[in-house]
Amino acid sequence: MAWMHAVNHTRGRPRDVRVDDALAQTVRKLLTEVGYASLTMDVVAQRAGVGKAAIYRRYSSKAELVFASVVHQMAPTPAPDTGSLRGDLRMLAAEIYTTLTDPVVASATPGFLAELADKPDVAQRLREGLFAREQAEVTDLLARAVGRGELADVPEAALVHSAMLGSMFAWLSMLHHPSDAGLPAQVADFVYAALAGKPADGRALIV
């Protein structure tokens, strides 16, 4: 099947791979420097030493360019399995937290969410490329917990995913509470408590 990709590009000058790298690096740097809104295509081209046509030949819009550049070298994170539901949740929470607080991701996310409102196609690709894998991890993690006998029934993965991702996103980006290394564990334990029926933070349940 590999030949599929090797379509005879042998007509005219081949794409310069250094362009792709320069773009990704430049976009990532600019995102942290000025943010998504003030990142302009002209400046990207100039700083990357690249023509605008070379950009639009690869990405059809600013949103796609930024998306690709942000995802570019995002952790592939194969799989965790720590042996316990609580451990798995903490692992996942830490992973999500790391992503959300990454300077590049944090700079791109809000502007990104804004564009998704208008462009369902980009939104679709974002969800598939970014969130689908995460959600699959949640599904696996829950299945493992059921297998271990930690949970009687498998809860809805989407809800658990929303709880973990959303809690941290709201904490950081909406309520603008300070970034705190203890946050992911807190959230993971909170979710664990909800699933396992043990009060969060080991607090005793009275009635």
Partner DNA sequence: CGGTAATCGAGACGGTACGTCTAGTCTTAAA
Partner DNA sequence: TTTAAGACTAGACGTACCGTCTCGATTACCG
Collapse the DSSP code of 129 into the 3-class scheme (helix H, G, I; strand E, B; otherwise coil) and give the result. Answer: helix
Q: Work out whether 54 is an interface residue with DNA (CB under 7 A).
A: yes
111/155 with CB nearer DNA? 111
Site for its own copies in 131-190 (CB under 8 A): 131, 135, 149-153, 155, 158-159, 161-163, 165-171, 173-177, 186-187, 190
Name the binder of 52 from DNA, its own copies, none, CB < 5-8 A by kind.
Answer: DNA
Question: What CA–CA distance (Å, rounded) separates 10 from 2?
Answer: 16
Q: Work out whether 38 is an interface residue with DNA (CB under 7 A).
A: yes
Here the tokens at position 139 are 């599904």
Name the binder of 110 from DNA, its own copies, none, CB < 5-8 A by kind.
Answer: its own copies
Name the binder of 171 from its own copies, DNA, none, CB < 5-8 A by kind.
Answer: its own copies
Name the binder of 8 from DNA, its own copies, none, CB < 5-8 A by kind.
Answer: DNA
Q: How far is the CB of 77 from its own copies (least distance, A)?
A: 18
Residue type, 92: L
52/133 with CB nearer DNA? 52
Q: Which residue has the tokens 């773009």?
A: 23
Q: Work out whether 176 is an interface residue with DNA (CB under 7 A).
A: no
Q: Which residue has the tokens 């994170």?
A: 77
Q: Work out whether 200 is an interface residue with its own copies (CB under 8 A).
A: yes
CB 177 within 8 A of CB 167: no
CB 86 within 8 A of CB 192: yes
- Beta carbons within 8 Å of 183's beta carbon, 6+ residues apart: 97, 168, 171
Q: How far is the CB of 100 from DNA (least distance, A)?
A: 24
Question: What CA–CA distance (Å, rounded) separates 59 from 126?
Answer: 14
Q: For residue 75, with 0-12 CB atoms within 10 Å meaning exposed, 13-18 middle and 19 or more buried, which class applies?
A: exposed
17/53 with CB nearer its own copies? 53
- Which residues form the interface with DNA (CB under 7 A)? 8, 10-16, 19, 38-42, 45-46, 48-54, 56-58, 60-63
